[in-house]
């Protein structure tokens, strides 16, 4: 393991996430199991328990989303510490195979975690917590992903060491049809980072909007709040799509600028 302030933060977030997921998954399982048959009094108790669970899940998911962003920053900071690494490809080589799986997981987690957070926000705005059971169920479904996400972080940062690695030079040569994504986005065309983040958030917001609409149709109590949330989500998604497209112009100019034929 290479101990730096960022790898330490990632390790702490990993352990913290792992402990909270184990604690929260038990509570979510109990609520999900009992809520359907619960009487009024037990339902009230389960609702109270749910509010505690909801707070814990918010902490878990927000900390995982922060870890998702920090993952790229941490990997970038490790480049000078790994001999032979010239971009994050080299860092991933040093932490292989966990790094590659972790990278894939990090690209999809925000889509999944956001679904729960958006539905919980709606649930809090409606009397009687009508989404209590679906939220507990979704959280239980998220547990394997959360465990994978946290354990891969821990496995990767405990594995990565300052060994000499072959970097992207061995894979991305002049004959390659595509450039090295890490060199392209993080080093030479950073404006594309704004494009990717904006487009990613836009797609995520549309996806969350569809999920909210799905539940709005199924659970009548949340209809006004759900419809309003869907409209807001899609509007914000549109804003991010526009930001991404606007950022695409300087990004393309940055890539085209200085080409050998321009002079």
The residues that touch another protein, with contacts defined as CB under 8 A, are 79-80, 85-87, 167-169, 172-174, 178-180, 183-184, 187-189, 192, 195, 199, 202-203, 206, 209-210, 213, 230-231, 234-235, 237-238, 241-242, 244-245, 248, 251-252, 255-263
**Which of 55, 245 has the CB closer to another protein?**
245
Choose between 116 and 172: whose C-beta lies nearer to another protein: 172
262 backbone dihedrals φ, ψ, rounded to 5°: -75, -20
Task: Report the residue count for the chain.
Answer: 263
Minimum CB separation of residue 226 from another protein in Å reads 11
Closer CB to another protein, residue 19 or residue 249? 249
Distance CA 128, CA 119 (A): 14
Q: Nearer to another protein by C-beta: 154 or 201? A: 201
- As measured in angstroms, the least distance from the Cβ of 28 to another protein is 30
CB of 73 to another protein, least distance (A): 16
* Contact indicator for 168, 89 with CB cutoff of 8 Å: yes
């Amino acid at each position: 393991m290479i101990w730096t302030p960022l790898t330490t933060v990632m390790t702490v977030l990993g352990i913290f996430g792992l402990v909270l997921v184990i604690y929260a998954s038990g509570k979510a399982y109990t609520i999900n199991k009992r809520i359907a048959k619960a009487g009024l009094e037990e339902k009230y108790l389960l609702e109270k328990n749910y509010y505690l669970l909801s707070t814990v899940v918010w902490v878990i998911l927000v900390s995982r989303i922060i870890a998702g962003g920090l993952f790229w920053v941490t990997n970038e900071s490790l480049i000078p510490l790994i001999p032979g690494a010239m971009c994050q490809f080299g860092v991933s080589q040093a932490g292989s195979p966990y790094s590659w799986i972790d990278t894939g997981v990090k690209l999809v987690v925000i889509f999944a975690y956001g679904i729960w957070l958006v539905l919980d926000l709606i649930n809090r705005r409606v009397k009687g917590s009508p989404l209590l059971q679906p939220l507990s169920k979704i959280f239980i479904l998220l547990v394997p992903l959360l465990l994978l996400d946290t354990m891969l972080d821990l496995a990767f940062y405990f594995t990565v060491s300052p060994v000499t690695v072959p970097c992207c030079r061995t894979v991305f040569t002049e004959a390659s049809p595509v450039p090295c994504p890490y060199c392209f986005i993080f080093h030479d065309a950073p404006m594309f980072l704004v494009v990717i983040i904006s487009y990613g958030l836009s797609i995520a917001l549309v996806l969350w909007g569809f999920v909210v609409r799905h539940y709005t149709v199924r659970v009548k109590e949340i209809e006004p709040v759900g419809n309003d949330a869907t409209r807001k989500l899609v509007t914000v998604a549109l804003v991010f799509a526009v930001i991404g497209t606007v950022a695409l112009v300087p990004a393309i100019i940055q890539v085209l600028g200085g080409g050998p034929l321009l002079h």
